[in-house]
Amino acid sequence: MIAVITGDIIASRKIVSQEKWLVPLKNLLSSWGERPKEWELDRGDNFQVEINNPEEALKKAFEIKALIKKVTPLLERKKISTIDIRMSIGIGGKTYWGETIKENNGPAYIYTGEKFDVLKKENVTIGIKTPWQDFDEEINLYLKLAGTFMDKWSVSSAELVEIVLKKPNATQEEIGSQLGIKQSGVSGRWTRAHIDKLLEVEKMFRKKIIPFLQ
């Protein structure tokens, strides 16, 4: 079993300097695997990445979301980034190993493609498809609800989320030191970003998916 994340940057062409999001995204994906075997960018604002440990897939999707949402908006008075991201997660088998990720095939690749095709129609920015229908229904409900606050993350909220996901054991004092703000400031951002809810969704996903992978 593997996971495959397919993503598309929303409104990317509004950003004149594509490097603002492109370079950080490349760096993140490069830290997870080798290009082009395990990840690739396509047509500038589309990407696909293969995750060998499916239980890590949702956390990694959240990391990508935070990375994109922290891109500085075009208008300084705006707090929310000009761009966003749409992602589908497919979990399943892999039946063909090509020289590049574009050549790979198997249920995980089929599922991520099928889910990605219906995200706009479903009016959500993140969704999942697996061989297990009941699992999909439950997790997609959680993701739909989480999307109501993730899509509204401010740049400062996204910066905090990124740190929390990468350093889950860091204290608010340590996070504040990294961000250059007081602990009370971290606490306020924590609440506004709904981090506790986000972590609960990720924890539940992990709890539900592991039995299927054993």
Percentage of the chain lying above the pLDDT 90 cut: 91
pLDDT at residue 202 is higher than 90? yes
Query: Phi first, then psi: what are they for 40, rounded to 5°?
Result: -160, 150
Residue 42 amino acid letter: D
Any idea which of 64-78, 100-114, 181-195 has the lowest mean pLDDT? 64-78
Confidence band, pLDDT 50/70/90 cuts, at residue 43:
confident
- Which whole number is the average pLDDT over 84-92? 98
Give the N- to C-terminal CA distance of the chain in Å, as an integer: 10
Q: Which helix (H) or strand (E) segment is 4 a member of? A: strand 2-10
Residue 39's nearest CA partner among 15, 18, 59, 60 is: 60
pLDDT at residue 44 is higher than 80? no
pLDDT of residue 75: 81
Each as own residue / partner, the long-range contacts of residues 164-173 (CB below 8 Å, 24 or more positions apart, any chain) are: 164/195, 164/199, 165/59, 165/62, 165/63, 165/66, 166/63
What pLDDT, in 10s, does the model give residues 101-136?
A: 999 999 999 999 999 999 999 999 999 999 999 999
Q: Are 3 and 50 in contact (CB under 8 A)?
A: yes
pLDDT of residue 207: 97
pLDDT at residue 148 is higher than 90? yes
The Cα 140–Cα 168 span in angstroms is 24
- Which whole number is the average pLDDT over 48-74? 96
Residue 195's nearest CA partner among 163, 205, 185 is: 163
What the block records as the tokens of 80 is 């929310």
Please work out, in degrees rounded to the nearest 5, the angle formed at the alpha carbon of residue 175 by the alpha carbons of 170 and 179.
155
